[in-house]
Amino acid sequence: AALLTGAPAAAPAPPARHLFSEPAEVEALRRNLLAWYDRCKRDLPWRALAAMEPDADRRGYAVWVSEIMLQQTQVATVIDYYTRWMQKWPTLQALAQASLEEVNELWAGLGYYSRGKRLQEAARKVVSELAGRMPRTAEDLQKLLPGVGRYTAGAIASISYGQATGVVDGNVIRVLCRLRCIGADSSSPAVIDQLWDMANVLVDRSRPGDFNQALMELGATVCVPKSPLCGECPVKQHCRAWRRKLFGKAPPVPDVEDCGVGDCSLCPPATEPWDSSLGVTNFPRKAAKKPPRAMRTATCVLERRGCHGAPEYLIVQRPSSGLLAGLWEFPSLPLAQDLQEEKEREELADHLQAWIGRPVAATGLQFIGEVIHIFSHIHQTYVVYSLHLDGDVTLDPALSLSRWVTEDEFHASAVSTAMKKV
């Protein structure tokens, strides 16, 4: 019954094949995983802070920042951003006093920009409403901090405060699905609930933060999506996918053979049984993703001679909500699909006129090329034009959402990776 803590009362118990029901096995898995982690863990700046920082609020903040940055972003990319962030804002109080523009500038290039903004809003809340004291449990972190979900709350509470609570992220999903041959859609709520229950059962009671990081590290470095290094895996003796790969025969009736029951909610669907050519990468499985939405946007690099003769470029600020909120970009205009090139130029010329306050001839726009950038759910094509402006070009000071910048200033501004490509 302890294995099912938190599951809805009516949910039938999953077959034992998909659980960790032997206490001795759970103990052995914890021991093997932690011993491997102690030997092989990567040296990362937030781990050093979590281990060395004596002040509990600073420690929680340091882990929080790392967890937000690591969402959707690779460790190697995060390290440099994290180091600069913690130098600039080493405490919640320092972050609470920063401007959104400064946050966006530091975040530029890291993607998913609303993360930085929400982090700062939440820091302000801790300072103003919680007297600067970080909540100490996963439940309170999730309840009190905007933008902190179940995973981030569990990570902060276990790593910073030693709460014995599990975490489930993409790496953990992959490892657990393989350890227990879970082949049902791993993004479905029923499977996710089971994985949270399992993570809470497995987490080591005396070293929960290290255990959670070890499970994620295993997924990031050994139990990787495409070619997992099973031979080097510290928990292979607990892994049912690995055992099945070594000893499994093609079953005559796969869904029945998997669990001994025909309607197991955690086995691969009968229509997509175990494929022996895939081995352990049969798991996890996901329902097919919706293809990203295609968008075309015309953008224009407007150039003028600056006061010292160096070229300057016009950038304008995006609205404060929605995609890339508050970031700066070259003047851009979303285009209807299948628009004729001539019409495209005319629309862009009208749009530019609104920014610079004088007529722009569509024929003067020079086509440069196309830049493709994939946002999480949008396949964006930027159709890039350029235009050199002669004479004195001054902007209406009322248009505070635009400014002329040199190339160096452009790179130091809060601009997206897509605009840097442009």
Catalytic residues: 67
Nearest-approach distance from CB 219 to ligand SF4, in angstroms:
8
Candidates 181, 223, 266, 267: give the one binding ligand SF4 (CB under 6 A): 223
Residue 175 binds ligand SF4, judged by CB under 6 A: yes
Asked whether position 365 contacts ligand SF4 by CB under 6 A, the answer is: no
Q: Measured between alpha carbons, how far is 162 from 175 in angstroms, rounded to an integer? A: 23
Distance CA 414, CA 422 (A): 15
> Which among 175-183, 255-263, 323-331, 341-349 is the span making contact with ligand SF4, rule CB under 6 A?
175-183
In whole angstroms, how far apart are CA 240 and each of 8, 171, 176, 420?
A: 26, 17, 10, 46
Q: What is the dihedral of CA 120, 125, 126, 132, to 10 degrees?
A: 100
242 touches ligand SF4 (CB under 6 A): yes
We find the least distance from the C-beta atom of residue 178 to ligand SF4, in angstroms, to be: 4
Determine contact, residues 122/152, Cβ cutoff 8 Å: no
Minimum CB separation of residue 155 from ligand SF4 in Å reads: 21
CB of 175 to ligand SF4, least distance (A): 5
Q: Name the one range near ligand SF4 by CB under 6 A: 221-229, 286-294, 345-353, 387-395.
A: 221-229
Whole-number minimum distance, CB 36 to ligand SF4, in Å? 10
Tokens linked to 357 = 């306050």
Query: 291 preceded by cis ω (within 30°)?
Result: no
Q: How far apart are CA 193 and CA 168, in angstroms?
A: 10
By beta-carbon proximity to ligand SF4, the closer residue of 218 and 352 is 218
Structure tokens at 412: 């130091």
Q: Which of 222, 264, 327, 356 binds ligand SF4 (CB under 6 A)?
A: 222
Among residues 236, 244, 318, 345, the one that binds ligand SF4 under rule CB under 6 A:
236
Question: Binding residue for ligand SF4 (CB under 6 A) from 228, 268, 273, 326?
Answer: 228
> Hey, what long-range contacts does 75-80 have (CB within 8 A, 24 or more apart)?
75/42, 75/44, 75/220, 77/110, 78/110, 79/44, 79/45
The window from 231-239, 327-335, 362-370, 374-382 that contacts ligand SF4 (CB under 6 A) reads 231-239
Q: Is 176 in the site for ligand SF4 (CB under 6 A)?
A: no
Beta strands in 360-420 (DSSP E): 366-374, 378-388, 402-405
| Closer by beta carbon to ligand SF4, 126 or else 233 | 233
Q: Is 51 or 278 the residue whose CB approaches ligand SF4 more closely?
A: 278
| DSSP-based three-state secondary structure for 334 | strand
The residue (of 148 and 175) whose beta carbon lies closer to ligand SF4 is: 175
Query: How many beta carbons lie within 10 A of that of residue 184, not counting itself?
Result: 21
Which residue in the set 280, 315, 356, 383 belongs to the binding site for ligand SF4 (CB under 6 A)? Answer: 280
Provide the 8-state DSSP code for 13.
P
Question: How many residues lie near ligand SF4 (CB under 6 A)?
Answer: 14
- Closest-CA residue to 50 (of 212, 274, 236, 251): 212
Contact 229, 152 (CB under 8 A): no
**Binding flag, residue 199, ligand SF4 (CB under 6 A):** no
Q: What residues make contact with ligand SF4 under the rule CB under 6 A?
A: 175, 178-179, 222-223, 228, 230, 233, 235-236, 239, 241-242, 280
